[in-house]
Structure 1
Amino acid sequence: MYLGADRVKTTKVQTLKAEFEMLNMSESKTVNDFSAKIGNIVSNIRALGETIEEYYIVKKVLCTVPSKFLQLASPIEQLSDVNTMTFEEVVGRLTEHEIRIKIHQESDEKKLLPTHEEWEELARKHNQADSKSKQRNNNNNHGGKG
């Protein structure tokens, strides 16, 4: 019976390691989503008694980030000691970068031109204001003569 349980454990570990290897962070995922997924797999592997080194997890994260994180991932790999960096540290750095990206995107969105519908609304308000102004001018001009 012990042999069967050991085989099941080995199979689960292999499956989890394969899942870990196949992980990639898509452009639409947040750092927190991706790190939670990695963290969950790593926890399950470790719970089954297998070791997975911290540097290996850090390298996996840095190698699988989407292009919007490459300008940060490359310097981390080149300038930091990835072998001593923790998973939490690399996730923290990526999260900070993600927040900066989001702030800049929101700022850029505020600078965008209005949509077609917004332009029409602005034009309608402008035309209404012009009409009221013309009516006041006509009333003032007719009132002053009479």
Structure 2
Amino acid sequence: MAMEMNKSKESTLGLNYPMLTKSNYTAWSLKMKVFMEAHGVWEVIVLKDPKAAVEEKKDKMALAAIYQSIPDDMLLTIVEKMTAKRTWEALKTMCLGADRVKQAKVQTMKAEFEALQMKDVEALDDFCMRLNALVTKIRELGEDMAESYVVKKLLRAMPPKFLQITSTIEQFGDLKVMTIKEIIGSLKAHEERLK
């Protein structure tokens, strides 16, 4: 009897499919491939012979696995795809397209970051808020921006009235370990002296 219970537990034991989000397509697709291989249905996604007939039951099982692993809003956009392969390809296009848009945004913001310069009449606090807002947006998109990279940009973006202090910081400070807050503190002290 104990043996029968173990068999029924094994047969009802399912796999928890990962949920697809807007930012995890690559990891999701790798996990789903393994899950579908474990269920013996991956072959309907990557057909070895495109002319061969697909077993309908396997196709429906693969489609069910995909449907279980995507949010409702994505499901509504791909529901008209009739096969697991077409559904898989539509999700790939949708997610990688979104990733390309994200990368394009990152590139646009990085160009804006590189072109950023403090205006002579601009308050240091206002400029630093603009710089930090841009850095935060870039980092939120998953792009790594090292503190030292931002520190160096901050020093390069200063107008001529800050030349003396930026030169001193560059000559005597270790830009690899200095934080943005430390640099801003030094620049604010210099700005107060100028007043």
TM-score under structure 1 length normalisation: 0.68
> Is 1:87 aligned to 2:169, yes or no?
no
Matching residue of 1:112 = none
> Is 1:43 aligned to 2:136, yes or no?
yes
| Alignment partners' CA distance in 2, 1:85 and 1:31 | 18
Amino acid at match of 1:80: G
Within 5 Å, give how 1:57-72 maps onto structure 2.
57-72=150-165
| Alignment partners' CA distance in 2, 1:41 and 1:18 | 11
Amino acid at match of 1:88: K
| Alignment partners' CA distance in 1, 2:179 and 2:194 | 23
Name the SS for the 2:108 alignment partner: helix
The number of aligned residues is 102
Greater RCO between the two (CA within 8 Å, min separation 6)? 1
Name the SS for the 1:44 alignment partner: helix
Name the SS for the 1:51 alignment partner: coil
Amino acid at match of 1:35: C
Matching residue of 1:105 = none
Following superposition, which runs of at least 4 residues in structure 1 exceed 4 angstroms of deviation? Answer: none
Of 63, 73, 76 in structure 1, the residue corresponding to residue 166 of structure 2 is 73
Matching residue of 1:121 = none
> Could you tell me how far 1:7 is from its partner in structure 2?
0.8
Of 98, 105, 111 in structure 2, the residue corresponding to residue 18 of structure 1 is 111
Within 5 Å, give how 1:1-146 maps onto structure 2.
1-102=94-195
Structure with greater proportional helix content? 1
Structure of greater Rg: 1
> Could you tell me how far 1:10 is from its partner in structure 2?
0.3
| Alignment partners' CA distance in 1, 2:139 and 2:171 | 29
Q: What are the superposed Cα offsets for residues 70-108 of structure 1, whole Å, 9 maximum, x if unpaired? A: 110001000010110001110111011111211xxxxxx
| Alignment partners' CA distance in 2, 1:10 and 1:69 | 34
TM-score under structure 2 length normalisation: 0.51
Structure 2 segments unaligned to the other structure (5+ residues): 1-93
The CA RMSD over aligned residues, in Å, is: 0.7
Quote the sequence identity (%).
Answer: 51
